[in-house]
Amino acid sequence: MSLLIGLFSLIFIIVSATVVFSKKIKSNTEILGIHKNLAVNAPVAGSILKYTVNEGEEVQEGSTILIFESMKMELEIKTTASGKIHFLVPVGRLVQSKQPIACINPVEQVDENIIEKPQIQTNSIDSTFVDILNKIVEERGFSFLSDCSKCKSLLQDYTSGNYKKETRLLLLAIEAKCPNEILNTSEPEITMNKLINKLKNEYSVENNAAEMIVKLLFNLYNNIQKK
C-alpha cells in the first residue's frame, strides 16, 4: 500500500514539474516576443564577437548586424527582414546552433495615400506678390517659372521671406508642371481646368486657391505674349 502511494506521489511530482517547465518556456518566449520568421538564429554553435549596429537601430533586410565566431572563424550575421533590431545574447556569450541571437521588429509602412493631407487654402493673392511675378517674367521670361529651385531662390530675394502662402502656392504649381503645360498648350480652357483639378487632387490645394494660381499663371503668360 505504501509502495502504491509512493508511486502516485512520484507521478504527481513529474507531471507538476512538466507543467511548470512548459509554463516557463512559454513565459520566456512571450517575453522575447520572437516570431520564427523575424528571428535571427545562430548558424552554428559559437559566440558573439561584436555587434556592428546599435540596439534598437533600424536595419534593412540583408544588413550585417553582428560578427559571429565559431571554430576560430568569423562569420557575418545578416538580418532576415527590415525593422528595428533587438539583441538577445550579449557579446562573448556561447550559443547553440539555431539559437535565437537577435530579433527584428518590423517597422510599419504607412500608406501615404490613406493619410489625409491638409488642404492649402488662401482667399486672395497679394497684389504686391503679383507685381513681383510680373517683374520676374518681364526680366527673365515666362519659361523661368518652370525651374522650381531657381524661382524659389529668386523669390526669396524679391520678397525677403514675405508672402509665404503665395510663394508656397506658386512653387506647388511649378512642381505640378503648370508653367510647362501653359507654354505648350493649344487649348487654354481645357488646360486650365486640367491644372486646377491636378492641384486639387494631387497636391491638396483648395479649389479657390488652385483656380487663383492657375489663372494668375495664364495671365502672366498672356501679358508677356502681348509685349
pLDDT number for residue 181: 93
Name residue 77's beta-bridge partners.
Answer: 66
Reference 41, options 98, 82, 88, 83; nearest CA is 98
Higher pLDDT, 123 or 52: 52
Q: What is the per-residue pLDDT across 63-122, written as a single tens digit (0 to 9) for each?
A: 899 999 988 899 899 887 888 888 888 898 899 998 998 888 876 554 444 444 555 566
Higher pLDDT, 122 or 33: 122
Quote the strand ranges of 71-219, DSSP E: 73-78, 83-87, 94-95, 100-105
122: phi then psi, degrees, rounded to nearest 5: -160, 140
pLDDT number for residue 1: 53
CB count within 10 Å of CB 84 equals 14
Assign 23 a pLDDT band (cuts: 50, 70, 90). Answer: very low
Q: What is the per-residue pLDDT across 151-182, written as a single tens digit (0 to 9) for each?
A: 888 888 888 888 888 999 999 999 999 999 99
Assign 2 a pLDDT band (cuts: 50, 70, 90). Answer: low
